[in-house]
Amino acid sequence: MGTEVLAVENVAFRYAGVPVLRDVNLRVEAASTVAVTGANGSGKSTLLHLLAGVEQPAEGSVRRRAGCRLALLPQRTGDIDALPLTVAECVRIGRFRPRRRLNRDDRAAVTVIMERLDLAHLARRRLRELSGGQRQRALIAQTLVQAADVYVLDEPTVALDATSRRHVHDLLAERVRAGAAVVFASHDAADATLADRTVRLTGALGHSVGDAAVHHGP
Ligand SMILES: Nc1ncnc2c1ncn2[C@@H]1O[C@H](COP(=O)(O)OP(=O)(O)OP(=O)(O)O)[C@@H](O)[C@H]1O
């Protein structure tokens, strides 16, 4: 077994008393990929928020390895579109540290990720002037430019064309080969074939109670 970076044990979660997840168990190891699948409303985003510490479980525990650096790509909301940010500024935010200017490594990482995600020609364009897929690429770049031990991505490729999707898959595979863990949500079962392990949230009774079934291997 690999080194554990994140673990979810017997977790339950409720929004204002309404159960969304129960009995969820998940172990995330370094240098591995975990897919979280399930229908709309089954609790994928909620589970990712618990992993990232954005939400706290009602029951059970979420453990993160000490010092674990986590980069989160939230599911797209309209909020970001209203910000007066250029693509380059959006990506640089991924390297932001309080009271420190971006150094040469930071700037090089920004340049590389923008090239890899075909964003260089859009660097000065404002996010709100972009197509949905272009904007999603900018946000993925902001996440992947971070030096993280775990990348948690909520439906990263949902708005992307086949070429961009392949670029993102290649980048994620590289991060894993370099020792990071990747956890991503998808409602596309085919995406799960990319993962070493899949957590399927079944949304029992067709509504919002998700049970996790963990399968090993693609
Ligand atoms: N802030 C909230 N307050 C109350 N209920 C919420 C909130 N966010 C999500 N829910 C509910 O929790 C359930 C799980 O939502 P979640 O967003 O985790 O699902 P999902 O699997 O990510 O869905 P999708 O595939 O549509 O993105 C849904 O029934 C949803 O209505």
Q: At what angle do helices 162-177 and 104-116 cross, to 10 degrees?
A: 140
Query: 53 is written with which tokens?
Result: 């510490």
Q: Which atom of ligand 1 is nearest to the CA of 47?
A: 18
Q: Are 177 and 163 in a shared domain? A: yes
Whether the complex's predicted ipTM surpasses the cut of 0.95:
yes
Using the 3D structure, point to which of 147, 162, 196 is the last residue of a domain.
147
Distance between Cα 196 and ligand 1 center (Å): 25
Q: Are 192 and 156 in a shared domain? A: yes
Using the 3D structure, point to which of 130, 147, 164 is the last residue of a domain.
147
Spatial distance between the Cα atoms of 208 and 118, rounded to a whole number of angstroms: 38
Helices (H), the chain: 44-52, 87-92, 104-116, 132-144, 162-177
- Considering only CA atoms, which residue is closest to atom 4 of ligand 1? 15
Spatial distance between the Cα atoms of 89 and 107, rounded to a whole number of angstroms: 11
What separation in angstroms does the CA of 158 have from each of 91, 108, 185, 195?
Answer: 19, 28, 10, 16
Distance between Cα 46 and ligand 1 center (Å): 7
Spatial distance between the Cα atoms of 142 and 162, rounded to a whole number of angstroms: 20
Ligand 1 site, CB within 6 A: 15, 20, 38, 40-46, 75, 187, 208
Q: Are 28 and 3 in a shared domain? A: yes
Q: Are 109 and 161 in a shared domain? A: no
**Interstrand relation of 18-29 and 4-15 (parallel, antiparallel or unpaired):** antiparallel
Using the 3D structure, point to which of 147, 163, 197 is the last residue of a domain.
147
Q: Are 55 and 159 in a shared domain? A: yes
Q: Are 143 and 130 in a shared domain? A: yes
Q: Are 153 and 218 in a shared domain? A: yes
CA dihedral 168, 171, 172, 175 (to 10 degrees): -160
Q: Are 58 and 158 in a shared domain? A: yes
Q: Are 137 and 155 in a shared domain? A: no
DSSP code, position 80: G
Residues spanned by the domain of 31: 1-69+148-218
> Integer distance in angstroms from the first to the last C-alpha of the chain?
17
Distance between Cα 200 and ligand 1 center (Å): 15
- Considering only CA atoms, which residue is closest to atom 1 of ligand 1? 15
Q: What ranges make up the beta strands (E) of 30-101?
A: 33-38, 59-64, 70-73
Tell me the best of 20, 154, 188 to mutate to test the pocket of ligand 1, counting ligand atoms within 8 Å of each CB and taking the most: 20
The SS3 of residue 169 is helix
Q: Bridge partners of 216?
A: 197
Spatial distance between the Cα atoms of 137 and 114, rounded to a whole number of angstroms: 9
Q: Are 112 and 218 in a shared domain? A: no
Q: Bridge partners of 131?
A: none
- Considering only CA atoms, which residue is closest to atom 24 of ligand 1? 40
Distance between Cα 42 and ligand 1 center (Å): 7
Tell me the best of 13, 14, 15 to mutate to test the pocket of ligand 1, counting ligand atoms within 8 Å of each CB and taking the most: 15
Distance between Cα 57 and ligand 1 center (Å): 15
Q: In tens digits, what is the pLDDT along the chain, a chain of 218 residues? A: 689 999 999 999 999 989 999 889 999 999 999 999 888 888 999 999 999 999 999 999 999 999 999 999 998 766 777 788 999 999 999 999 888 899 999 999 999 999 999 999 999 999 989 999 999 999 999 999 999 999 999 999 988 999 999 999 999 999 999 999 999 999 776 677 889 998 888 865 333 334 444 444 44
Q: Looking at the 3D structure of the chain, how many domains does it have?
A: 2
Distance between Cα 41 and ligand 1 center (Å): 5
Q: Are 114 and 168 in a shared domain? A: no
Q: Are 163 and 124 in a shared domain? A: no
Predicted TM-score (pTM) of this structure: 0.91
